[in-house]
Amino acid sequence: HNFRLPLRYKTRDNGDIELETKVTGTVSLEAHKKGINMSRIMRSFYEFRNDTFSIDKLKDILYAYKEKLNTFDSKIALKFSYPIIKKSLRSDNEGYQYYNVTLEGGLDKEGDLKKYIHFDFVYSSACPCSFELSEHAEKYRNRATVPHSQRSVARVSVRFEDMLWIEDIQELCLDALQTETQVMVKREDEQAFAEKNGAYLKFVEDAVRLLYEKLT
């Protein structure tokens, strides 16, 4: 069952923020049961709507589902756009970068909780092959060229036990890939970004390896 509502979330700096959230709740029933009134999933969730959310709050809701709806397993996914303030590379400007995030919790029939964060990181991937071809054209053909680069999205899914902040994942992704797309850009920031693209050339498979090294 899908529905939307504003929810408050904890932030790493001990604050909180209200974000419009798409909630997806699913439950599994015994084979002999015909089904469930879907609004019961929403009504059970609404009892927690004024709480401050984190991935651990999903545990309370999932146990409530298990008890009140008499299910043998259940899942909840909270999908929202999470803002983090980002400084420009060289100028004194700053602005909000928005990240697509899904917090997911699943409770199985033994009562074991599995917690996941799904996080989208948008970065620039400058092609190493295109860079080499551009250098060759300039050196041997006396032609000015622009190496190919594009906006790419790295979708990171992490299963974890202890608390993991969204800000932590963003920093790990930035440390791994370096070329996150920019928010507030002046001329000097554009130049700095071009320099980063030249310094951190990568294919998609390179990005996967770099992220894996940071996350494991």
Task: Give 82-124 pLDDT, tens digit per residue.
Answer: 999 999 999 999 999 999 999 999 888 777 889 999 999 999 9
Label the pairing between strands 2-10 and 52-53.
parallel
For every residue of 112-150, DSSP letters joined together read -EEEEEEEEEEEEEE-HHHHHHHHHHHHHS-------EE
Strand partners, 104: 77, 116
Please calculate the CA angle 102-105-106 and round it to the nearest 5 degrees.
Answer: 135
pTM: 0.88
**pLDDT 10s digit of each residue in the chain, 216 long?**
789 999 999 999 988 999 999 999 887 766 666 656 667 778 888 888 899 988 778 888 888 877 777 777 788 999 999 999 999 999 999 999 999 999 999 888 777 889 999 999 999 999 888 888 888 888 888 988 877 788 999 999 999 888 889 999 999 999 999 999 999 999 999 999 999 999 999 999 999 999 999 988
Reduced to 3 states (helix: H, G, I; strand: E, B; else coil), residue 100 is strand
Residues sharing a CB contact under 8 Å with residue 185, sequence separation 6 or more, in sequence order: 88, 193
